Amino acid sequence: MKKCGCFEKNQWYELEKIVGSEYVITDQSEKDVQSIDVWWMTRYCFFQQENFPQPSVIVFPENTDQVRKIVQFCLIHKIHYLARGGGAGDGGGSIPLKGGLVIDLKRMDKIIELNERSLTVRVQAGILQKHLEEFLNRKGYTMNHFPASFNTSALGGFISTNGTGVLSSKYGKISDMVHQLEVVLPNGNLFKSLPVRLHSTGPDYSRLFFGAEGTFGIITEALCKIHYLPEKRSFRAFLLSNLQKGIEAGRQIMVKGLNPCLLRLYDEYDTRHILQKQYGLEKEGCVLIIGFDGMKKIVEAQEEVAYSILEQNEGEDLGEKLAVNWWDNRYRSYYPPLDYICEPWMTAVMDTVAPYEKIETIYWEMKKGVEEGFKSWNAIFHAHFSHWYDWGTSFYPTFLLKDFPSNPHEAIRLYNQILDICVQASIQNGGVVNEHHGIGMRFNRFMKDVSEENYQFSQIIKKALDPESLLNPGKLGLGE
């Protein structure tokens, strides 16, 4: 006889009363989807391991009040729960480690208010970034947040990992783009930060939730900054003979007060892997793509100064075509068949950020650690420098092993050994554990190493907000 799961449904009747029966899902296929994200380890283990952690139930609320009631339900019944946006995180942040309940926020995708005088938009946090941007574009605006997972991730997900898009050098991280947050706390109460961020009315507590990866509360609404669509947006590529020259040129552009929306420097391997293979470049070296946007006159004045800095640093002007082509296809290299996501290879990104005097050392230490330390596995390391500021820059390194042990335990050990080398290279040379993908489970073990004080402080906050650790346990180095 085919079993129907009716006993399980009975248990969730209270949830059905909150969101409606069609939005309480216990189907195995949905549980499978909600069990994984895009982390290599998750996908690898999902197919290797029996009893991979999975939720008991997935709930789809449509407003803040429903989220509060679901959280109160979890509190009363002592059920673990977590929030899920697009599920495109790549560190295991949305894996329901202890089972329980997944609160999928995709129905919370409403635009609440567009303010065309102060240029803000108030939205529910489950909205996909792509849908928010499409709405704004139709009205003549943009949020200017363009991460490579733009099509698949939600605003709440980006806030939770403090994500960064390709135009960050001018528009900043997501934390620079949000004025106000509404959050359902683990005790079921609602928190709303003050309507403006730049005040002297006590600490700006909204900052607590940027990068908290859903361990301190569930973000339900945000008031975001928007901009007019630019009158002009231009891109140009330059070829630098080596990485050092490229970093120095980028540094000069940023510290001299120029405001490029895009600055992206590829190392030699990435120049070959991405710009030669995918965009037909026929030269060797390090390509730097620079972009400006805004009012035409200002863009042109900035272009002139920036291009002369690049020339002084012996940058060869490759013109607009390659750069514009890159912009038009900017997400393609992150997805199959061009990226490694679906390949049966072992891979990870370990993005980091540091001041200018430290960043190059971190890059070379990581590269040496991977390529020399794991030579017997033909380990490959490559990177691009993608988010630049007037005090430092970040880079996005990838390691790749096309061959790795067939024994899962050995494979996982090897993966973690490579992560150890890379993350320690960053921490020991003045960098951080991660720049924009977050910690999730992947980097849990490094949270103490990067700063014992920071780690203790986050434990105090977690204990105060969620003493029973019901909300997303085992992430961000918090709880097991």
Ligand X SMILES: Cc1cc2nc3c(=O)[nH]c(=O)nc-3n(C[C@H](O)[C@H](O)[C@H](O)COP(=O)(O)OP(=O)(O)OC[C@H]3O[C@@H](n4cnc5c(N)ncnc54)[C@H](O)[C@@H]3O)c2cc1C
- Smallest Cα–Cα separation from 273: which of 338, 335, 324, 327? 338
Q: What is the Cα–Cα distance from 87 to 331, expressed in whole angstroms?
A: 17
Nearer Cβ to ligand X, position 206 or 302?
206
Nearer Cβ to ligand X, position 94 or 120?
94
Report whether 214 contacts 471 (CB < 8 A): yes
Show the tokens assigned to 4: 């129907």
- The residue with tokens 């290279």 is 425
Nearer Cβ to ligand X, position 99 or 373?
99
Report whether 216 contacts 209 (CB < 8 A): yes
For residue 213, the minimal CB distance to ligand X (Å) is: 4
For residue 43, the minimal CB distance to ligand X (Å) is: 11
Report whether 84 contacts 104 (CB < 8 A): yes
Q: What is the Cα–Cα distance from 401 to 457, expressed in whole angstroms?
A: 37
For residue 54, the minimal CB distance to ligand X (Å) is: 15
Nearer Cβ to ligand X, position 183 or 253?
183
Nearer Cβ to ligand X, position 19 or 309?
19
For residue 146, the minimal CB distance to ligand X (Å) is: 8
Residues at the site binding ligand X, with contacts judged by CB under 6 A: 37-38, 82-90, 93-94, 105, 125, 147-149, 153-154, 156-158, 160-161, 163-164, 213-214, 218-219, 334, 436-438, 472, 475
For residue 163, the minimal CB distance to ligand X (Å) is: 3
Nearer Cβ to ligand X, position 148 or 370?
148
For residue 113, the minimal CB distance to ligand X (Å) is: 19
Q: How far is CA 274 from CA 16, 239, 386, in A?
A: 49, 14, 14
For residue 24, the minimal CB distance to ligand X (Å) is: 19
CA 83 centroid distance within chain: 15
Nearer Cβ to ligand X, position 334 or 455?
334
Q: Which residue is nearest to ligand X (CB)?
A: 157
Report whether 147 contacts 164 (CB < 8 A): yes
Handedness of CA 108, 113, 116, 119 (dihedral sign): negative
Q: What is the Cα–Cα distance from 57 to 59, expressed in whole angstroms?
A: 7
Our CA angle for 372, 378, 383, nearest 5°, is 70
